[in-house]
Each structure stands twice: as structure tokens, then as C-alpha cells.
């Protein structure tokens, strides 16, 4: 007997055979530089909590207070019964951090990208997309029904060439790119891409998921770091990385944000962010703006580690995301396992997430020198990083 579902286990077998199979690992402690993972205490290089805010007492207290006042759920979409004063406070806090006219919060960064791209472009339009963009940008582009052309990673002359070739055939054009690339750690030259977008009459959407809170003097992100604050573009990001909560946002001109409130399906037809997540994000943005020492410490850690690992097979990075290249998926898995035995938690990132396998280390402000040194000892002195 065959069933219509038989192909699923076959497909899963293929995933196993390619060493692409993945399962979640259970952490049983609070977030931080040391975590409890499946009974072991490990130094954590797997977290996006760059500033160490996810376990900060201010955020926890804000989440508890908001839960006591508003309950656990928002009970409806923003346009029906889900809108609270704290949602608006959070949007104004984001607009203030980004120095934009307004901002809108979504239930996740993934939904922010899907909802924004599909609202901005359609069948008669063109999307130019960096080949290494995050899944949420790529799937947002697909869902929009616009024509999608990929340009070579961070290659401005390729982007320019493709715009010259195709731009005139379409109505609107949207360029989409990560600012800090999530699985590589390198950075898009935002001001140059923006100049090009302006000169070719294109909109630009930048994904600041990994840059918000850590780049720029006040943690506003790469747009600010590259001196583009105040120029017209669309900035999206997440509340779940350096901001230590959950949710996504888009920041930009008031007209853009007003349009998204009326046209973005992933905002209109989904339940508003929970009170706890909302309040925690407000508390985090306040800390980001008033306590720059966390950002300073993060960059001190990043520079130290970058320097000590520079002779290994490290991908070019200007961020807390540091990747050690591996020859193939099984080697990446093996190295990740060796690191766990040595007391270090860092994930193997494999296809289809990325074209080539690697171990991804993310640095946090809360890492102590001894934590970084233990990683260096294992990769360099014990030589297990020489792959
Ligand atoms: C994590 C991430 C997202 C998605 O954000 P979530 O809030 O986790 O859904 C989008 N873009 C990039 C580049 C990311 O790294």
C-alpha cells in the first residue's frame, strides 16, 4: 500500500544523506555567555543577543509589569482590538532611535519583510536582490510576484549593470539587501547602494536585523553608521536580536508607514505583538540609547577575536558574526561536535541556508576575555580550527 504521504519520509532520507538534517537543541538556562545545553554547561557563541539584553532585569521587569497590566495576549489585530498605548510607544521609540518620521512594528522580522515587500511591489515591478540575502527577503520577493533579479554579493558594479539593463522595462523597482549579512558577517556599503538607487529611480529596502543596536554611535544601525540618516529609504529590522525581545519593525517616512498600515497583509491580518514583548523592546531601546558601554564592550570583544583568529580560514567580517569555513557539511558538523566537547556552543551552518558550510560564532558584549580565550585556545592552540 502506498499513501500520498510516502514521499515525505523519502525526502527526509535525502536530507539525512546529504548531512543537511537538523533538529533543535534544548537550552535549559537563561540566555547569556554560558548556557546549559542538554546537560552541559557551554560557552555560548550561538546567540544573536549581541548586547546581552535578553536576560536583563530591566527587560524582564518591563515584561512582567506589562503582563500584569494588559494580560498575556493582545487579543486581536492592531486595527481591531489589539492596539495598546505601548505599541505606539514602541513605534515612536524605534522612530526616535532611527531618526525617521515614523515606524511600524510587526510580530516578527520575517513578517515585516514579507508584508513590506508585497505591499510595495507587484507584477509590473522589478526587485534587485543580493544573492546572499536572508530567507525573509527572498521569500518576500517571491510572494510579491515582481520580477526578481539577483546581483552578485555586495557587487555594486553588477547591480549597476543589471539596473541599466532592466530598470526601464518595469514600473517600480525595489533594491533589497541585508546591511550586516546574517550568515557571513560582512557589511553592505549602504551609502553607495543608496546613491545608485536614487540615480536609477529605485526604492531601497535595507534589512538591519543584525545591525540595530550595535552599529552607529547610538546603535541606530548601518544606515546611521554610513551617514545616511535622514535620506529616503526603507529600513526594517528585528526586535529579537540585539533588542532581546521578539517582533520586527519598519522605519521610514510617515507616508510609507501609513501606507503599510493600510496595505501590509502580515500586519493587518495578524494579532498584535504581545504586551510582554512590546514592553521589553521599549526597555531595551532605552538601554541602547542611554548606555553605550555595552556597544563599546561588544566591539572590543569583536576586535580581539577577529585579530586572534585572523590567520584561520575566516570569512571576511566587519561584525560580531565570525564564520570559519569548512570543506563540506559533514566536516562542519564534526567540528561543531568537537567544540561542544571542548565546552563551546557554535552551530554548523550548512546548505541550503548558505552555499558553503561553516561554523558561525557570534560575539556578545557579555563574553568575558576568558570565554574568548577558551575559544582561541581550542581553535588555534589545539588546532581544531585548522580545517
Ligand atoms: C533574523 C533575521 C530576520 C528575521 O527576524 P525575526 O524577527 O527573527 O523573524 C530577518 N532578516 C535577517 C537578516 C535576519 O537575520
Asked if residue 105 has its Cβ within 6 Å of ligand 1, the reply is no
Q: What is the mean pLDDT of residues 266-286?
A: 98
141 pLDDT higher than 80: yes
Region of poorest pLDDT, from 6-15, 159-168, 374-383: 374-383
Asked if residue 238 has its Cβ within 6 Å of ligand 1, the reply is yes
293 pLDDT higher than 90: yes
pLDDT digits (tens, 9 = 90+) for 312-339: 999 999 999 999 999 999 999 999 999 9
Contact 337, 5 (CB under 8 A): no
* CA–CA gap between residue 161 and residue 165 (Å, rounded): 6
| Average pLDDT across the chain, whole number | 96
Give 387's pLDDT tier (boundaries 50, 70, 90): low
Percent over 90 (pLDDT), the chain: 94
* CA–CA gap between residue 324 and residue 308 (Å, rounded): 13
The predicted structure's pLDDT at residue 74:
97
Least Cα distance to 115 among 322, 270, 226, 230 occurs for 270
pLDDT digits (tens, 9 = 90+) for 44-102: 999 999 999 999 999 999 999 999 999 999 999 999 999 999 999 999 999 999 999 99
* CA–CA gap between residue 10 and residue 18 (Å, rounded): 13
Which atom of ligand 1 is found nearest the CA of 182? 15
Structural domains of the chain, with CATH:
22-55+292-381 (3.90.1150.10), 74-273 (3.40.640.10)
Asked if residue 248 has its Cβ within 6 Å of ligand 1, the reply is yes
Name the burial class of residue 283, with classes exposed (0-12), middle (13-18) and buried (19+) by CB atoms within 10 angstroms of its CB. Answer: buried
Cα of 173 vs centre of ligand 1, distance in Å, is 23
Q: Whose CA is nearest to atom 5 of ligand 1?
A: 109
208 pLDDT higher than 80: yes
Asked if residue 138 has its Cβ within 6 Å of ligand 1, the reply is no
Give 382's pLDDT tier (boundaries 50, 70, 90): confident
Asked if residue 212 has its Cβ within 6 Å of ligand 1, the reply is no
385 pLDDT higher than 80: no
pLDDT digits (tens, 9 = 90+) for 163-193: 999 999 999 999 999 999 999 999 999 999 9
* CA–CA gap between residue 150 and residue 152 (Å, rounded): 7
Cα of 384 vs centre of ligand 1, distance in Å, is 31
Asked if residue 134 has its Cβ within 6 Å of ligand 1, the reply is yes
Amino acid at each position: 500500500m502506498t499513501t500520498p504521504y510516502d514521499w515525505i519520509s523519502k525526502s527526509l532520507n535525502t536530507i539525512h544523506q546529504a548531512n543537511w538534517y537538523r533538529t533543535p537543541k534544548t537550552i535549559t538556562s537563561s540566555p547569556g555567555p554560558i548556557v546549559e545545553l542538554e546537560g552541559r554547561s557551554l560557552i555560548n557563541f550561538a546567540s544573536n543577543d549581541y548586547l546581552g539584553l535578553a536576560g536583563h532585569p530591566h527587560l524582564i521587569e518591563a515584561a512582567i509589569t506589562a503582563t500584569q497590566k494588559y494580560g498575556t495576549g493582545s487579543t486581536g489585530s492592531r486595527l481591531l482590538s489589539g492596539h495598546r498605548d505601548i505599541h505606539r510607544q514602541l513605534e515612536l521609540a524605534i522612530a526616535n532611535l532611527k531618526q525617521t518620521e515614523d515606524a511600524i512594528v510587526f510580530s516578527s522580522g520575517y513578517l515585516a519583510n514579507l508584508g513590506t515587500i508585497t505591499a510595495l511591489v507587484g507584477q509590473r515591478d522589478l526587485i534587485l536582490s543580493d544573492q546572499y540575502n536572508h530567507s525573509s527577503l527572498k521569500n518576500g520577493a517571491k510572494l510579491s510576484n515582481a520580477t526578481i533579479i539577483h546581483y552578485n554579493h555586495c557587487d555594486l558594479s553588477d547591480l549597476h549593470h543589471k539596473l541599466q539593463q532592466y530598470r526601464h522595462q518595469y514600473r517600480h523597482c525595489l533594491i533589497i539587501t541585508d546591511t550586516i549579512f546574517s550568515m557571513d558577517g560582512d557589511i553592505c556599503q549602504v551609502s553607495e547602494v543608496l546613491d545608485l538607487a536614487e540615480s536609477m529611480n529605485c526604492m531601497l529596502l535595507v534589512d538591519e536585523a543584525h545591525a540595530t543596536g550595535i552599529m552607529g554611535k547610538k546603535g541606530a544601525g548601518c544606515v546611521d553608521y554610513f551617514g545616511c540618516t535622514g535620506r529616503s529609504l526603507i529600513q526594517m529590522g528585528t526586535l529579537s536580536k540585539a533588542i532581546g525581545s521578539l517582533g520586527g519593525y519598519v522605519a521610514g517616512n510617515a507616508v510609507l508607514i501609513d501606507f503599510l498600515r493600510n496595505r501590509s497583509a502580515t500586519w493587518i491580518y495578524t494579532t498584535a505583538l504581545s504586551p510582554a514583548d512590546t514592553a521589553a523592546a521599549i526597555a531595551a531601546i532605552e538601554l541602547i540609547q542611554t548606555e553605550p558601554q555595552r556597544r563599546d564592550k561588544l566591539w572590543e570583544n569583536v576586535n580581539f577575536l577577529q585579530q586572534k583568529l585572523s590567520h584561520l580560514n575566516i570569512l571576511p567580517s566587519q561584525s560580531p558574526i565570525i564564520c570559519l569555513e569548512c570543506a563540506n557539511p559533514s566536516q562542519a558538523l564534526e567540528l561543531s561536535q568537537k567544540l561542544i566537547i571542548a565546552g563551546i556552543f557554535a552551530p554548523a551552518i550548512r546548505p541550503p541556508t548558505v552555499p558553503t558550510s561553516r561554523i558561525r560564532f557570534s560575539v556578545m558584549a557579555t563574553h568575558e576575555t576568558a570565554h574568548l580565550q577558551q575559544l582561541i585556545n581550542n581553535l588555534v592552540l589545539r588546532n581544531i580550527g585548522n580545517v
